Amino acid sequence: MLAKRIIPCLDIRNEYVVKGVNFLNVKEVGNAVELGAEYARQGADELVFLDITASHERRKTLVDLVKQIAAHLNIPFTVGGGISELGDIEKLLAAGTDKISINSAAVKKPDIVDQMACHFGSQFVVVAIDAQFKDDKWTVFVNGGRIATDKELFSWAREVEDRGAGEILFTSMNHDGTKNGFACEALSSLAEQLKIPVIASGGAGNMHHFVDVFTKGKADAGLAASIFHFNEITVPDLKDYLINNGVVIRK
């Protein structure tokens, strides 16, 4: 069995780390460079950087900030937000990015997933999917959760896998920031339908939620933000807890 991964997430707005609830009421919580360095020191398996307003504001990702964070990391670094063409990716690679996460651009121009996989390899391509459960279906949203699309979570995930995505980062908008646990039922369905890894995001509130997401949700990685940012849980303590509960984890 592959070891499960713990991934802190830096949601970025105006160069600061922020966090909200259900994608709303977003507040600043810290310095991106300092937090990234601390999570690497604690033994996080990876770090994710999401420029959450780049697509909405129709601008590019903050390359200089990415470079500053990458300089302090010794773990894989995934960056997303405002990426719409291969030239954007090349700049982020040069800044120290290991993987690229795309969301809005993939929905608007799906063949960018094919292009990325062809040019850089599937292992480099993470497709982020923000979805909300309403009226008995999971609807995909873009532009930082602002705009509903005609796409449905499971069919869209299967499509991007077929196009060459190497991983899916699924965020449940219903669970985001609530600290009530991950969307384990939806995650389990994703895991059963896909051959590529699934990163779970949205809802982490305590250490047992990670046990649930790795067992009931069958996720390959658990991503969280506020519980780490506010020191409610540290990465080393979480890893010890998971090991004690029979979860295979990297120490």
In angstroms, the CA 143 to CA 104 distance is: 6
Lowest model confidence (mean pLDDT) among 17-26, 146-155, 224-233: 17-26
User: What DSSP character marks residue 178?
Assistant: T
Superfamily of domain 5-244: Aldolase class I (3.20.20.70)
Render pLDDT for 67-114 as a digit per residue (tens, 0 to 9): 999 999 999 999 998 888 898 899 999 999 999 999 999 999 999 999
Secondary structure (H, E, C), 195-234? CCCEEEECCCCCHHHHHHHHHCCCCCEEEECHHHHCCCCC
Q: How confident is the model at residue 2 (pLDDT cuts 50, 70, 90)?
A: confident
| Residue 9 CA: distances (Å) to CA of 5, 123, 200, 211 | 13, 19, 11, 19
pLDDT in the model for residue 16: 79
| Cα dihedral 150, 153, 154, 156 sign | positive
Say which residue, 202 or 82, is predicted with more confidence. 202
Q: How confident is the model at residue 39 (pLDDT cuts 50, 70, 90)?
A: very high
Token pair in block for residue 68: 């500053």
Query: Is the pLDDT confidence value at 27 over 70?
Result: no
What is the pLDDT averaged over residues 129-150?
93
Name the average pLDDT for the chain.
Answer: 92
User: What DSSP character marks residue 154?
Assistant: H
Give 48's contacts (C-beta < 8 A, 6+ positions apart). Answer: 7, 8, 9, 10, 78, 79, 80, 101, 169, 223
Token pair in block for residue 2: 């592959």
Q: How confident is the model at residue 57 (pLDDT cuts 50, 70, 90)?
A: low
* Catalytic residue IDs: 11, 130
pTM of the model: 0.93
In angstroms, the CA 53 to CA 17 distance is: 12
pLDDT in the model for residue 24: 55
pLDDT in the model for residue 30: 83
In angstroms, the CA 38 to CA 104 distance is: 29
Query: Is the pLDDT confidence value at 19 over 80?
Result: no
pLDDT in the model for residue 78: 97
pLDDT in the model for residue 143: 85
